[in-house]
Amino acid sequence: MNAITLEPFTHNSKSCIAIKFAYNFEIKEYIKNFNGVYWTKTHRTFYIYFDEVRLKDLKTYIKKEGLRILDSDNNNIAPHYSIGVKLELKPLNEEKTLVYRHFLEFLKGKRFSTSTIASYSGFILKFLRFTDSKPVNELNETDVRHYIEWTVEKLNYTISTHRQMVSGFKHFAYFYPACSIDIDKVYMPKKDKKLPTVLSIEEVFLLLKSTKNLKHRTIIAMLYGSGLRIGEIIDLKLSDFDFNRKQLHIKSSKGRKDRYTTIAESLFPLLKNYHKTYEPKIYFIENPKGGKYSPESIRAFIRKNTKTAGIIKTVTPHTLRHSYATHMLEQGTDIRYIQELLGHSRPETTMIYTQVTRKDLQQIRSPLDTTIKKLSLQDNSNKKLTIT
């Protein structure tokens, strides 16, 4: 009988369960059809994000096909965390398992994205395990505060993750009013006010020039040339291109919104060459075996080619989107049009690019330059004063 091994590991700073087996096409296709299974090229394995309820469902799904399961931890898989510490939390009891399952259905009913559901449910799952045997009805904001303090100290959660966690608790308190959590008493930290990293136009061209692989160069060019999010270029289909109007139809993007954005006319020869070489069938960017391309692969080759180009900035797919918006603003494009092209709901989100644009900053003179110029004019020697 074919056997499948389940092993805990950390991937993208999250606790995961690897699904390993000797290659068999039928088993591979069967595992791929389980809801929530992903493939990691880095570790070369199928996996699920750790969730004891999802793990239980996976085991039931595997056994249903008559496959044997081998657990690496003697049938007791515990989560691992990115900080390298193995933290033991007791499994959910029957009551909390039921509440958690219903909370998952509640999140799905609100039509949240898969990533949002995974994040919110993951926070609540660990919270229910953290509170051990305390009944759900008796959980209050003090329990939430203790849990948040624990995650900040032990799991080193960032402010953005902290904020997302509080949002998850707001939905849980609304979903389960029988508990005693007064969400208004749960502190929400303020957002970091960090400015985005932006490449110069010269650095963008240097990155494109250093990217020898045609598919990779096309992806980078589209991310920058149309200001796309990584999820948008992965979901982009051939039918979304309108070359006559030089437009892209971005469908069901962030916030389930559609929008139109531009296609750079200068990219037409590159796009034609790419399409002729790779012959994608459905999606604009497809993996070698068909289907959607991997976001991890895009991040990896951008890091690699950034290093090859000698660019010392940290460059991600979103850096190219930031650069697109900043350069548009510097070229004089009205910020309202930029907001529409980027798909921002609020103008305040787009306004951040006014803080990194160089157009106005280059016209501002330092008082030191002004003073030195004044002294130079007063100096009879007619020599330009400098500081050395």
Whether 67 and 59 have beta carbons less than 8 Å apart is answered as no
23 tagged catalytic: no
User: Which of 59, 229, 249, 259 is an active site residue?
Assistant: 229
CA dist 8 and 48 (Å) reads 10
Q: What is the residue-wise DSSP string for 234-300?
A: HH-BGGGEETTTTEEEE-S-TTS--EEEE--GGGHHHHHHHHHHH--SSBSSB-TTSSBPPHHHHHH
43 tagged catalytic: no
User: Which of 100, 120, 293, 353 is an active site residue?
Assistant: 353
Whether 16 and 50 have beta carbons less than 8 Å apart is answered as yes
User: Which of 11, 54, 217, 321 is an active site residue?
Assistant: 321
147 tagged catalytic: no
353 tagged catalytic: yes
Q: Where are the beta strands (DSSP E) in 143-192?
A: none
Task: Give the C-alpha distances (Å, rounded to integers) separating 304 from 140, 295, 314, 364.
Answer: 47, 14, 11, 36
User: Which of 254, 259, 275, 292 is an active site residue?
Assistant: 254
Please enumerate, as own/partner, the contacts of 74-77 that have beta carbons within 8 Å and a separation of 24 or more.
77/6, 77/7, 77/8, 77/17, 77/50
64 tagged catalytic: no
- For 126, the enclosing helix (H) or strand (E) is helix 114-130
Whether 301 and 216 have beta carbons less than 8 Å apart is answered as yes
Task: Give the C-alpha distances (Å, rounded to integers) separating 109 from 36, 105, 106, 361, 366.
Answer: 17, 6, 5, 48, 56
324 tagged catalytic: no
Active site residues: 229, 254, 318, 321, 344, 353
